[in-house]
Amino acid sequence: MSDDPAALVLYTVYGSPRDYPGEFVVRRSVVAGGAVKIDPELFARAPTLDAVRALLPPHLYPLPRQPGDDPVIVEVWL
């Protein structure tokens, strides 16, 4: 998505979003040059939180959801 070495790649885990009810999905986004680009392709989906976490790239750090986040956001990994 970005060739910028300073880009920050985020993996957002969603629980039961409208387009995949009852599942956990991961969407990738890139922050570069002051802009956020969400990858239009779904990164991963699985029936459980543990299963979708196992599909994330290694060596990421999880951040818990924040009070202002959309309720379907479970966590963000960077």
Look at residue 43 and tell me if it is in a domain.
Answer: yes
pLDDT digits (tens, 9 = 90+) for 19-62: 999 999 999 999 998 899 999 899 999 999 999 999 999 999 99
Radius of gyration for the chain, computed over Cα atoms and rounded to the nearest angstrom: 12
Domain assignment present for 1: no
* 49 in a structural domain: yes
pLDDT at 1: 54
Please report whether residue 64 resides in a domain.
yes
In a domain, 2, yes or no: no
Residue 62 covered by a domain: yes
pLDDT at 3 over 80: no
Q: Is residue 3 in a domain? A: no
Beta-strand runs (E) in the chain: 8-15, 24-32, 35-38, 44-46, 62-64, 73-77
Please state the domain count of the chain. Answer: 1
Tell me if 60 is assigned to some domain: yes
Instruction: Locate 28 and state its tokens.
Output: 């990738």
pLDDT of residue 33: 87
Domain with 39 in it: 8-77
pLDDT value at 2 more than 70: no
Task: Compare 19 and 4 and report the one with higher pLDDT.
Answer: 19
